[in-house]
Amino acid sequence: MPAIGPSPMDDAQLAVFVQLICNYFSASTRSTPQLGSPSIEFGTPRLLDYTGFIRFSGASPGWIYISFTQPMARTLLTKLGEQQQDSEMIRDAVGEIASIVTSNAREHFGSSFRVSLPIAISKGEDLPIPEGMPQFAYDINWESHKGILGIVLAPEAAVLPS
C-alpha cells in the first residue's frame, strides 16, 4: 500500500534552510554566519529573546523558527542601518527574516511549498506551534552572537535516528 501523508525531509532538504539563512546574512550584511550540526529535540523549543515562526505546507509540512537574542537582533539592525531598535521593530524583523528564509525555499521545493504569514513572539509568550514536535535546532554563530534556526516537522515528515 502506498504511504499516505507527508513525505520525510532528508538531510539535503534540511541543508537548504541552513544555506538560506547564511544567504540572508551574507546578502544583507555581507557577514556570513557559521551554523553547527543540528541537535534533534522533542520538547519545547529553546527560544531566545525574539522568535519568528512560519508554517510551511507541501510534501514535508512543518514550521521554521528563527530566534535571536536582543543583542544579536540589535547588532543586525545596526548593520542594516535601522536605528529604530525597540521591541516592536525587532519582532517585525525576526518575523520577516523567518518569512524570507522560508519563502526562498520555494525555489528548491517547488510551487506546492506554501508559507504562512509570520508570527513573532518575545520570550515567555505562548508558542504558536504545537509542543513536543520533533525538531532540528541549529546554533547560528554570527558576529560573536548566538541565534537559533529551528525546523519543526509534522511527525509524519520527520526522519529520526533509531
Q: Is 26 helix (H, G, I), strand (E, B) or coil?
A: helix
Neighbouring C-alpha atoms within 13 Å toward the C-beta of 7: 7
Q: Is 64 helix (H, G, I), strand (E, B) or coil?
A: strand
Residue number, 116 or 134, with CB nearest to other proteins? 116
Contact residues toward other proteins (CB under 8 A) are 23-24, 27-28, 30, 80-82, 84, 88-89, 92-93, 95-96, 99-107, 110-111, 115, 117
Nearest distance from residue 49's CB to other proteins, in Å? 16
Nearest distance from residue 160's CB to other proteins, in Å? 28
Residue number, 88 or 143, with CB nearest to other proteins? 88
Nearest distance from residue 111's CB to other proteins, in Å? 6
Distance from CA of residue 89 to its chain's centroid? 18
Nearest distance from residue 162's CB to other proteins, in Å? 35
Q: Is 29 helix (H, G, I), strand (E, B) or coil?
A: helix
Q: Is 134 helix (H, G, I), strand (E, B) or coil?
A: coil
Residue number, 103 or 134, with CB nearest to other proteins? 103
Q: Is 53 helix (H, G, I), strand (E, B) or coil?
A: strand
